[in-house]
Amino acid sequence: MEAAVFFIWLVTASGGVALLWTWWRGGGRQEDHPHGHPLGRRVGITSGLAAPHAVFVVTGMVLWGVAAVVDERYSDNMLRWLALAFLVVGVGVGLTMFTKWRGARRSGPDEAVPAAMVYGHGLLAAVTTIGAVVVALVA
CATH number at residue 102: 1.20.120
The residue count for the chain: 139
Residue 14: CB atoms within 10 Å: 12
Output the pLDDT for position 2.
Answer: 87
Output the pLDDT for position 29.
Answer: 66
- pTM score: 0.85
Question: What is the DSSP track for 64-107?
Answer: HHHHHHHTTTSS--HHHHHHHHHHHHHHHHHHHHHHHHHHHTTS
Total number of domains in the chain:
1
- Alpha carbon distance 62, 9 (integer Å): 10
Average pLDDT (16-36) is 76
Range of the domain at 14: 2-138
Over residues 42-87, the pLDDT tens digits come to 567 888 899 999 999 999 999 999 988 886 666 568 889 999 999 9
Output the pLDDT for position 18.
Answer: 95
Q: Report the helix count and the strand count for the chain, using DSSP H and E.
A: 4, 0
